[in-house]
Chains A and B, each alone.
Chain A
């Protein structure tokens, strides 16, 4: 799927706020949509839904395991529940409930984890979800979405409601650059080709799509033709887009705000290994926990900026040339 891109990358809404606003719109359209939250509704923006639909909002208190269980019960009786909290609590504390009450019976629950990655900043590692992609993808039948901006998030919320079955949506804390025009479509399971290119493919998700756009501009200035894929659906992966990128560009950099072990990168690598093995590099968090600082300082220190993507691209291109020569 091709893209209509705003290359100025002006800051827009945080994806968590875009989620909260989209949920209200969805609630107006569909009376079966309900929400549960665990004392973080002001941070996840489900307070907007609670204000407009108080009878369809269930405050669970700080009790994530019960929150996921209640959501499963609501879904079993025909409702479309959105359960929201920081991903580090919803997914990590609610994981067993996601497994046995949601994934295993295939119940129609939507889980939205906010404050993903290290760009939450000052609150530090206990609040940062850096393993949620791996955890959610390990659950059979789950759709896993990782929208890059407010436009993608709005689409993700509507797609999640239309899809019958478990969905996990990843959201971030900081304001996110607006990448897409309002008319952009995000079909589930189809990567967005943000830019075409033939020398190298960058596959990015979430906040790192904007960083990848900046990295691409630098690489193109050096004469490298860069294909950029926004992998807004992490599960199921767009196998055709990935195999095509491997076969046609022969070099791939995967960039994500997640542990490099267990995230999008390893999933892409598995697919590449099965189809057209090629040179790959990975930009992610390298087997560590972050710390308190500003989001910018953390992204810099833990290697998740455009600069890190450019360097990874240069390494992978050098390997590709060596292999060819």
Chain B
């Protein structure tokens, strides 16, 4: 089983390494989605390094906790975290988006069987997570399912079909985390299709809602513990984040939703992240 890290400073150092990987990978690929990968770094680092019970040497361990990246375009952050956990060699990360690479443009189980799901079409991961949670409950199994959603993704109707399903069936072993970075491909979420009042929507649908700073590892740890203790309904963590977090010229800049850094930008970004 993967040995958890509890020390916040050590986790912060891991997060910095993950950010460097994201820049290097997308820079090498010349395409990809750096902004929404950088915003989700602390969420994934906290989960994989201090919350999920998982075994990188045995990805099919039946009692493992499940993780689904529903916002599949943020694949670079997932690949980097999985590499740092030991699922795949770190050196291979720069094959992102190349023919035959385990690191396909969006997560693809056929090329990386340790993934729980192939994602990329937005709106689908929450349904999948709730199906997994229902199966675990039928088995009387203790494993939990975590699913990371994008904010723009919550404009999909299927998210709210799933939200109703999760509360109605009281699937309390599922925890959704929304990477609320306020930016989507076409621009700011509030200008494309406003989600607010967002927390009220989720609580109106019957979910336990926690709002926090999605870059605060201590707050995230505390929230995951709270979610695990809530019975009778699923939990959603609305994680307020900054798109492009950690790289000054990418922060809050819609351009870097789906545009990779140039070689000069890679150099600049890595300097900031050193």
Chain B: which residue is nearest A64 at the CB level? B161
Of B2-10, B124-132, B215-223, B264-272, the one touching chain A: B124-132
Are A66 and B117 touching (Cβ within 8 A)? no
**Does A96 lie at the interface of the complex (its beta carbon under 8 Å from any beta carbon of B)?**
yes
- With A61-B164, A77-B136, A97-B124 in contact, do A70 and B117 touch (Cβ < 8 Å)? no
Are A66 and B116 touching (Cβ within 8 A)? no
Are A100 and B135 touching (Cβ within 8 A)? no
Are B128 and A69 touching (Cβ within 8 A)? yes
Are B169 and A66 touching (Cβ within 8 A)? no
Of A52-60, A125-133, A240-248, A295-303, the one touching chain B: A52-60
* B121 contacts across to A, CB distance below 8 A: 96, 99-100
Question: Within the assembled complex, what's the spacing in Å between the Cα atoms of A167 and B156?
Answer: 26
Residues 73-124 (chain B) with a chain A CB within 8 angstroms: 109-110, 116-121, 123-124
* Neighbour of A74 across the interface among B109, B118, B135, CB < 8 A: B135
Are A61 and B165 touching (Cβ within 8 A)? yes
Chain A 135-177: CB-based contact to B (< 8 A → 1; otherwise 0): 0000000000000000000000000000000000000000000
- With A34-B138, A58-B134, A63-B164 in contact, do A76 and B128 touch (Cβ < 8 Å)? yes
Question: Within the assembled complex, what's the spacing in Å between the Cα atoms of A77 and B134?
Answer: 9
Are A56 and B127 touching (Cβ within 8 A)? no
Instruction: State the Cβ distance, B118 to closest chain A Cβ, in Å.
Output: 5
Question: Within the assembled complex, what's the spacing in Å between the Cα atoms of A81 and B136?
Answer: 14
Residues 141-184 (chain B) with a chain A CB within 8 angstroms: 157-158, 161-162, 164-165, 168-169
* Neighbour of B120 across the interface among A72, A77, A79, A100, CB < 8 A: A100
Instruction: State the Cβ distance, B69 to closest chain A Cβ, in Å.
Output: 14
Are B116 and A76 touching (Cβ within 8 A)? yes
Instruction: State the Cβ distance, A85 to closest chain B Cβ, in Å.
Output: 13
Instruction: State the Cβ distance, B174 to closest chain A Cβ, in Å.
Output: 9
* B136 contacts across to A, CB distance below 8 A: 77
Are B131 and A71 touching (Cβ within 8 A)? yes
Question: Within the assembled complex, what's the spacing in Å between the Cα atoms of A70 and B135?
Answer: 10
Chain A 242-259: CB-based contact to B (< 8 A → 1; otherwise 0): 000000000000000000
Are A58 and B169 touching (Cβ within 8 A)? yes
Q: Is the interface of B mostly helix, strand, loop or mixed?
A: helix
Question: How many B residues, CB 8 Å from partner?
Answer: 32
Are A69 and B158 touching (Cβ within 8 A)? yes
**Does A22 lie at the interface of the complex (its beta carbon under 8 Å from any beta carbon of B)?**
no
* B127 contacts across to A, CB distance below 8 A: 65-66, 68-70, 72-73, 97, 101
Instruction: State the Cβ distance, A140 to closest chain B Cβ, in Å.
Output: 11
Give B residues with C-beta under 8 Å from A: 66, 109-110, 116-121, 123-124, 126-136, 138-139, 157-158, 161-162, 164-165, 168-169
Are B164 and A70 touching (Cβ within 8 A)? no
Are A65 and B116 touching (Cβ within 8 A)? no
* A74 contacts across to B, CB distance below 8 A: 131-132, 134-135
Question: Within the assembled complex, what's the spacing in Å between the Cα atoms of A202 and B128?
Answer: 42
Are B165 and A100 touching (Cβ within 8 A)? no
Chain A: which residue is nearest B141 at the CB level? A77
Chain A: which residue is nearest B131 at the CB level? A73
* Neighbour of B162 across the interface among A56, A66, A99, CB < 8 A: A66
Are A105 and B133 touching (Cβ within 8 A)? no
Are A70 and B124 touching (Cβ within 8 A)? no
* B165 contacts across to A, CB distance below 8 A: 58, 60-61, 63, 66, 70
Instruction: State the Cβ distance, B138 to closest chain A Cβ, in Å.
Output: 7
Which of A70, A71, A73 has most chain B Cβ within 10 Å?
A: A73
Are B138 and A70 touching (Cβ within 8 A)? no
Question: Within the assembled complex, what's the spacing in Å between the Cα atoms of A61 and B208?
Answer: 21
Are B131 and A76 touching (Cβ within 8 A)? yes
* Neighbour of A65 across the interface among B135, B138, B161, CB < 8 A: B161
